Chains A and B, each alone.
Chain A
Amino acid sequence: MSAAIATTALRKVYPAPPNGRRQRGMPAPARDGGVVALESLDLEVGEGEFFGLLGPNGAGKSTTIGILTTRIRPTAGSALVAGEDVVRHAPRVRQRIGVVPQRPNPDRGLDVTENLVFHAAYFGVSRGEAEQRANRLLETLSLAERRTARVDELSGGQQQRLMIARALIHEPEVLFLDEPTVGLDPQARLALWDILRELHDAGRTIVMTTHYMEEADQLCERVAIVDRGRLLALDTPARLKARAPGGTLVILTLDGDAGDAAARARGLAGVERVESESATVRAFAARGGEVIPALIRAAEEAGRAVTDIPLREPSLETLFISLTGRRLT
């Protein structure tokens, strides 16, 4: 497999924000007071691969995409995209990539078609050629009727599709999408998935960040699970799911501290692993349903009542919880 993207010990430390500005879930400050967004990332994405970066907010996904798209300067380490160094040869990297941002940011001074034609012009595409491509893309992305509309008049989903058209108009080799389906209704999300599948089938390298497990599972060939600036796991969705301990995850919400109940649950037959956190017990079991009565008994013996007891099938989400002790969203 030849690499479309290769990063070596990629690291990003942001200067410390003013006091109290640190967001929930953000990584802890580094020794020098800066915020470590990316610890030390080694990644390789193959040509034509559909690659996913999965993690909660503040995991370092957007920072990674920012560095790979030359929009953020790494603190240390190196990154090559399409064979070019993102710092030393940023313009050459930009020539070969298309970027769909987290929030649609169309050029509001221009209408829909102009957004595409001018973007193409920034990449040296001639006007005639750009107009042809724009028409084709607007057709494919069901925006043909909005061709002369002002971008303010577009719905969120339409703006997002315009961003995809813009990212494709100069025919890049690598397409980056940063949380492309956030804020889309379910129908628009499924439509976008179809578009992305088609682009992948056509041989394009796609790197996508998401904090939706299902999205990564459905679309990506390989998924990197990141959290707090660190790479926790990297594999195909199927193999990642197989790594989730003990298959089903049983989550017990109790009416008080879960420590004692968790200790009792650890000895139960069929339960492979138990974790606790304040009023929650998480038990991984090969057959989730069979251990539920025993788990409830264990909680009651510890003097606690169970207020909720959902089951999670083996998924990237259960793996994420087992890796980090936290839920994704």
Chain B
Amino acid sequence: MHAGLNHYLTVSVLLFCLGFLGVITRRNLVVIYMGLELMLNAANLALVAFSRFNANLNGQVMVFFTITVAAAEVAVGLALIVALYRKRGTAHVEDLATLKL
């Protein structure tokens, strides 16, 4: 079958769900973060596919922005995780059940 927009969107959805599954089931903060990255990437794929099949560059610009924001977000997020690890000596979400640091 010819690979059209639907195929790419399906891959994107499945990838998004995989990332979501990771966020729900894993207990390690860093791995949860990787799941988030996977979800962002899935959205990127959908945007690029839309951009290609609708002959419209706006989707690609959006992906460009997403990648930049993701880079900034990872830097801040990982810095937070490191700070948390220094304070509490753990990066497991189950150990981080208190509201106070």
- Do A and B make up one complex? no
